[in-house]
């Protein structure tokens, strides 16, 4: 974490002043931060990582200091505050813009809204197979591994690159513990069977199920309109 004497402005999270990786500074790292933040170099017996020095650029601002400033600031003759940055969903161009009269960029003042915290989900929306989603979906499906690995449309990124916290990607290289089963296997089997029933209906069946006491899931139901989240998906998650 940058010491107080290295902090120049009124923000909360800063890259280390005068840091160089092979004569290149954090501004160079920022141009391809996802790859360059993983770089390291040996200095004597120690190994120094880029991400430990360019903490703002590398989205490694510790949670304790990763707070938005309440102060207003000027960018390109317009007055902003961090609430405006949040409404813009951490727009990359705005977050990297220089604040008038300072050497700071907006992300120094608004690390949280610019998603510079060590462990955070992006507030941006994204599309998977044409369906618009956001990381808020994980409040319902709770870190579904299959969705985390899905590729985001028109990008080379996966959902887990947008939803680091929800997908358990905050500590690279450390496997996320497998949660214990919520119940014995015998209780899960009956939950799947009823979802198959609606697909087999008699040709003369009325609009309501003919057999008294039979309970059916709604046919063709999609949660949030997403074909990935049908009743079969719900059956696997019903206790959660």
Give me the domain span that covers residue 161: 121-179
Domain presence at residue 31: yes
Asked whether residue 103 falls in the same domain as residue 8, the answer is yes
Averaged pLDDT for residues 30-34: 87
| CA distances to 22, 23, 55, 95 from 40, in Å | 10, 13, 14, 25
8 Å CB contact between 190 and 197? no
Q: Does residue 114 fall inside a structural domain?
A: no
Using the Cα atoms of residue 160, residue 166, residue 172 and residue 176 in order, give the sign of their dihedral: negative
**167 band by pLDDT with thresholds 50, 70 and 90:** confident
Q: What is the mean pLDDT of the chain?
A: 75
From the list 104, 86, 85, 102, the residue with the least C-alpha distance to 94 is 85
Among 109, 140, 157, give the residue marking a domain's end: 109
Give the tens place of pLDDT for each residue, 71-90.
899 999 999 999 999 888 77
φ/ψ region of 213 (left if φ > 0, alpha if ψ in -120 to 50, else beta) reads left
Q: How many domains does the chain have?
A: 3
Read off the pLDDT band of 205 (50, 70, 90).
Answer: very low
For 118-132, the pLDDT digits (tens) are: 777 877 788 999 999
126 and 89 within one domain: no
The model carries a pTM of: 0.51
């Amino acid at each position: 974490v940058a010491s107080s004497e290295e902090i120049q402005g009124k923000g909360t999270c800063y890259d280390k002043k005068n840091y160089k990786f092979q004569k290149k500074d954090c501004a160079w790292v920022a141009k391809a931060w996802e790859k360059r933040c993983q770089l390291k170099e040996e200095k004597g017996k120690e190994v120094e990582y880029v991400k430990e020095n360019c903490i703002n650029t590398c989205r490694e601002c510790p949670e304790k200091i990763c707070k938005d400033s309440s102060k207003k600031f000027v960018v390109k003759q317009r007055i902003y505050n961090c609430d405006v940055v949040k409404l813009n969903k951490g727009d990359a161009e705005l977050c990297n813009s220089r604040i008038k009269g300072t050497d700071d960029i907006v992300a120094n003042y608004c690390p949280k809204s610019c998603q510079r915290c060590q462990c955070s989900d992006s507030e941006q929306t994204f599309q998977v197979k044409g369906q618009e989603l956001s990381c808020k979906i994980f409040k319902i499906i709770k870190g579904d591994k299959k969705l985390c690995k899905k590729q985001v449309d028109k990008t080379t990124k996966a959902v887990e690159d947008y939803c680091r916290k929800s997908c358990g990607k905050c500590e690279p290289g450390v496997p996320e513990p497998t949660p214990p089963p919520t119940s014995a296997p015998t209780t899960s089997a009956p939950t799947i069977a009823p979802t198959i029933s609606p697909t087999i209906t008699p040709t003369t069946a009325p609009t309501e199920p003919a057999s008294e006491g039979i309970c059916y899931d709604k046919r063709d139901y999609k949660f949030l309109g997403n074909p990935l989240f049908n009743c079969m998906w719900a059956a696997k998650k019903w206790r959660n």
